[in-house]
Every structure is written in structure tokens, then in C-alpha cells.
Structure 1
Amino acid sequence: MRRILTPGEQLIVRTRRQPRMLVLPAVAFVAVCGAAAFAAGWLWRGRLEGLLPWVPPATRAWLPFVPVAFAAWVALGYCLRRVVAWRSVSYVLTSRRVMRRQRGLRRLDREMPLSMVRDVDVRQGVLQGMLGSGTLTLASGHAAQLTLTDVPQVRRFRQFVLDAIEELPAAEWVPIDDDETITDFTDESLPWELRDE
């Protein structure tokens, strides 16, 4: 964590997404492992011979491994993949910026300096509201914005962001007027499409 902090920057909060996305993989893992264990035991006792007498006797010893292999495929292909996807994304709030870091097979970092933040928006669905999580959108007033999904304790995180913005030194805060007017009427002050060329 120290590697991403600049000199004088302090870590305020580091969190991961709400772990509700892990509920379905956990249920699937328990259900598939239980069903595979039952099926393997059932096949090991030779119960398949009455149902499917045409199965060759040489392959009957290997049949209990079929449900075990299926359970391993589900556990690795679905459950573990969802856990890795949840663990790979983290949200970091420092005294100068907000970051969304994704570490996995693909690395993707997005950040926004707190001095650019003009609007902090919180959206919550019904389930998110019950769990206290939500989607936090930081807007700069221009096209740039940073969206953090499934932030746990989103209202508290929002308050931390607002407090960090208030504590910014005056030299870092750059106010932006919504109705920027040009008072200097030289060619250099005009937007590029209005200049005489």
C-alpha cells in the first residue's frame, strides 16, 4: 500500500465490494459438494447396476469419480472465479484521491483527485439499502467521473470523502465556475473553435 501513496498522502479507508456477490457461489459450493458426495457414495455401493445393467463392469469402479469431477469443475469454474473477482477489486480513499484498483489477470486502476470532485452521488437499490451498501459516483463537473459499485457502508464512505475534500489545503482546491465567462478578449483566451486563423 505504501507504494501507491505519494509523499504527505495518508490512507483514510481501504475496502472491498459488498460480499453479497459471494452468497450464491457459497450456496452452490455447499449444494454441489453435498450432492457429489451423496452420488459418489451411492455409485460406490454398486446401486447403478440395478438401474443401468448395460454399463460395462470394468467402468463401474470409475463411476464414483464422475460426480466428484463435476463438483470440482463447478467449484473451480464458478465458485472460485467469483471469489477471485470479488477479491481483485478494492476501493482506496486517501487524503488526496479516490482509487478503484483491480488486480487479477487484468490490472485496471482508476483514480480521481479529491480536488476535482464537484459532486458525490449515492444510489441504493432495495437490497443494497437493506445491506447498507450502494453505488457511489464521483463527478468532476466535466466528462470525468468515477463510479464505485457495491461500496459497503456507502453513506459513511461518502462522508469520509466529503470530510477529506474539506480538509484539502487551499493550494490544491481549484474552484470551477459553471458559467465560465471570458473577460480577456484576446485570441489566446478564446476556445480553439472561435479563434481567427
Structure 2
Amino acid sequence: MNTIYLVRHGIKEKSVGDAKLSAKGIQQAEKTASFFRDKKIDAVFSSPLSRAKETAAIIATAIDKDINEEIGLRERANWGDIPNQSFDEFVELWDKCTRERDYEPPNGVSARQAGKRMEQFINECKNQYPDSEIIAVTHGGIITDFMVNVFNAEQLNDLHSNFIDVQSKLIPECSITIIRYDGMKYYIDDFAQVTHLLDK
């Protein structure tokens, strides 16, 4: 049985393109790193986008691991993929992808395809690191894209009513979703938990 910790990156700077973490995002990543210090983690993977790699670097340093960059953890689309795209235009495109799961945006992939990339990544982890605990620092959209692919509506609505309709709002920055996978079936141990970010 593999355990996959799906970590959304910390809060990013408000800029187009491959935005870096904000000061708040760095603080969130440091608190997330503390969560993992006492856990037996076998590998750390990251989306190639800067905000994810910076989050992963803070976590990996805390647990003395290297980072494996994984393009399959990249978001289905990123603001700035399309030249001269306004933020409002990006949000409109994002919402269309969420509603129409097979729609392929320019310079991106469909929601269903993004979810399948995550499935493929988890399968590869199962083969390469059997019975291991893996951290994957990624993005909110691909986490829910994956979950809509592999869990049924009843399971999703147990996590949040109307999960599919509001999925884009369900994964806060530096939240942790814990998935177990036995090679045949996925299990949800925790969903978008943020207790590690709270001031103690």
C-alpha cells in the first residue's frame, strides 16, 4: 500500500506566468515542512512550476530529501500560457474546463487528461517505490481533477456537498490531501486539511 501526500503549493505572488511564492506562501511551506519532519517519507516530487518547486524545496530540506521534478504534476492550465491573456479570461477558460471535462484549452490539457496524468504518476510511484510514503507538491486543480476521475459522486459528496460544482474552491494553499493506493483501488485518508498551518 502506498501513501501519497498531495500538497498544494503555498500562496503565490499575484503575477502572470510562472509566479513564485509570496512571503506568506513561504511561511506556509515552512509550517508544512514541520508537519512532515517526523514522518518516514521515501521520496518528494514536485510540479515544474516555481511555486510548487519552492514549496517542495522547503519541505525536502526539512526532511533531508532530494526533489524529483515531475511534469505530470503540472496544472491543466496556467495563467500566462496564452500570450496577453487577462486574469478574467483565464478564469473564464478555467471554469469552462471544469464544466466540460474533455475540453482542451489552448496550450493546456483537459481536466480529465490532467487527472489521468496524476493517476499515471501514482501508478509509477507504486512500481518504483512500493509500500512507500510519497510527497507530491502540486496544484489545486489537478488534485480535484484526479479525484473526480477516480472517486464516485457519493464518495466526493461525503467530503463536501456539491463537490464537483465547487471543486475549484476546495483545495487551500499548502493543504494536504492523503491518498492511499494498493495498485487496484484508491482510498481517502484526509482531504485538504490545513490544521498544520494554524498558529499554535
What TM-score comes out, normalization by structure 2 length? 0.23
More strand by share: 1
The normalised TM-score by structure 1 is: 0.23
